[in-house]
């Protein structure tokens, strides 16, 4: 039986409608409109699309948004100055610096400059530490979206074998912490893992977040497994595809997320959720 497809667009729409309602209520009762400030440095086309989508999602949900763009050659001090200004602005609840930054930037320095209470990406060391301790303040948006997808599909987590491929700070590592907190047995694989298929074939839940087109094939998947594809890769013909080979995977997996239309829309949705949370936390 082919896999059941978890439709990220449908779930994102439902969650965004709830967030829009909550934002409207916050405005009506407290006079507060959740506001996200986004900083984009350079002209990377993918980053430009992501930032445009984030700003559009804010507007559609009744959130305020501010966008600041800088040329790739900008002095880091200018961006740090803007962050300081946004940190001090009570009308701004969330601050996001789109990654990657140009090579002359120290990305960690920039992320640490953001007020942890406005760090809706959850990338500040203080928020990373809180997640690691099992007391999250802001959960990074992509793994947060994946958890929502697993919840919506009714996937049992307690005691499940979860295998994550990719150890990035943005996805792999926080994903491991979130699944661990739900009592999964977690294996974190990466580019130096020996015999990747040995691990992936044991997974009840397989999360692919490596950034290599179609590298997880059907023969690497346990029959009936839940397969979450975080990858967004552009093929030579211009089409988007994930880290999972969809056609072979769908014959083996129990649940599968598509690319596009899977995790992507949920990432932006959870950014809105974090921005709303940040705004609500400013209430006395």
The number of beta carbons lying within 10 Å of the beta carbon of residue 239 is 11
Residues 6+ positions from 284 with CB-CB distance below 8 Å:
none
Q: Which of 98, 182, 204, 245 is catalytic?
A: 98
| CA-to-CA separations, 79 to 75, 269, 275, in angstroms, rounded | 7, 26, 21
- Indicate which single residue of 5, 80, 99, 132 sits in contact with ligand GUN (rule: CB under 6 A): 99
Q: At what angle do helices 172-181 and 125-132 cross, to 10 degrees?
A: 30
Assess 170 for contact with ligand GUN (CB under 6 A).
yes
Nearest residue relative to ligand GUN (C-beta): 99
Query: Catalytic residue at 54?
Result: yes
Query: Catalytic residue at 201?
Result: no
Q: Which of 22, 82, 118, 121 is catalytic?
A: 121
Residues 92, 84: contact at Cβ < 8 Å?
Answer: no
Query: Catalytic residue at 237?
Result: no
Using CB under 6 A, which residues numbered 59 to 88 contact ligand GUN? none
State which residue, 82 or 250, has the beta carbon closest to ligand GUN. Answer: 82
Least CB distance from residue 30 to ligand GUN, whole Å?
Answer: 27
Residues 166, 172: contact at Cβ < 8 Å?
Answer: yes
- Indicate which single residue of 12, 57, 110, 121 sits in contact with ligand GUN (rule: CB under 6 A): 121
- Indicate which single residue of 64, 96, 178, 213 sits in contact with ligand GUN (rule: CB under 6 A): 96
What is the 3-class SS of 65-130, one letter each residue?
A: EEEEEECCCCCHHHHHHHHHHHHHCCCCCEEEECCCCCCCCCHHHHHHHCCHHHCCCCCCHHHHHH
Assess 153 for contact with ligand GUN (CB under 6 A).
no
Interface positions with ligand GUN (CB under 6 A): 96-99, 121, 141-142, 170
Please give the positions annotated as active site: 54, 98, 121
């Amino acid at each position: 039986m082919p896999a059941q497809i978890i439709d990220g667009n449908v779930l994102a729409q439902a969650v965004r409608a709830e967030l829009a309602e909550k934002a409207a209520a916050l405005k009506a009762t407290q006079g507060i409109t959740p506001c996200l400030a986004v900083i984009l440095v350079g002209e990377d086309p993918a980053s430009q699309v992501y930032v445009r989508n984030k700003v559009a999602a804010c507007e559609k949900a009744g959130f305020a948004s501010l966008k600041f763009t800088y040329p790739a050659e900008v002095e880091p001090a200018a961006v740090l100055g803007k962050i300081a200004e946004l940190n001090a602005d009570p009308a701004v609840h969330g601050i996001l610096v789109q990654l990657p930054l140009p090579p002359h930037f120290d990305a960690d320095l920039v992320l640490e400059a953001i007020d942890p209470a406005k760090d809706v990406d959850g990338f500040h060391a203080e928020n990373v530490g809180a997640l690691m301790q099992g007391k999250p303040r802001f959960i990074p948006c992509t793994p947060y979206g994946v958890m929502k997808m697993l919840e919506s599909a009714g996937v049992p987590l307690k005691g499940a074998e979860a295998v994550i491929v990719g150890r990035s700070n943005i996805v792999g590592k926080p994903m491991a912490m979130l699944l661990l907190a739900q009592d999964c047995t977690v294996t974190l694989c990466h580019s130096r893992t020996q015999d990747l298929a040995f691990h992936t074939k044991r997974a009840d839940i397989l999360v692919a977040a490596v950034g290599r087109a179609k590298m997880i094939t059907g023969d690497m998947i346990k029959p009936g497994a839940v397969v979450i594809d975080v990858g967004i890769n552009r093929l030579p013909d211009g089409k988007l595809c994930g880290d999972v080979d969809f056609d072979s995977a769908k014959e083996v997996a129990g649940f599968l997320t598509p690319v596009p239309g899977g995790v992507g829309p949920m990432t932006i949705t959870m950014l809105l959720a974090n921005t709303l949370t940040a705004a609500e936390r400013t209430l006395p």
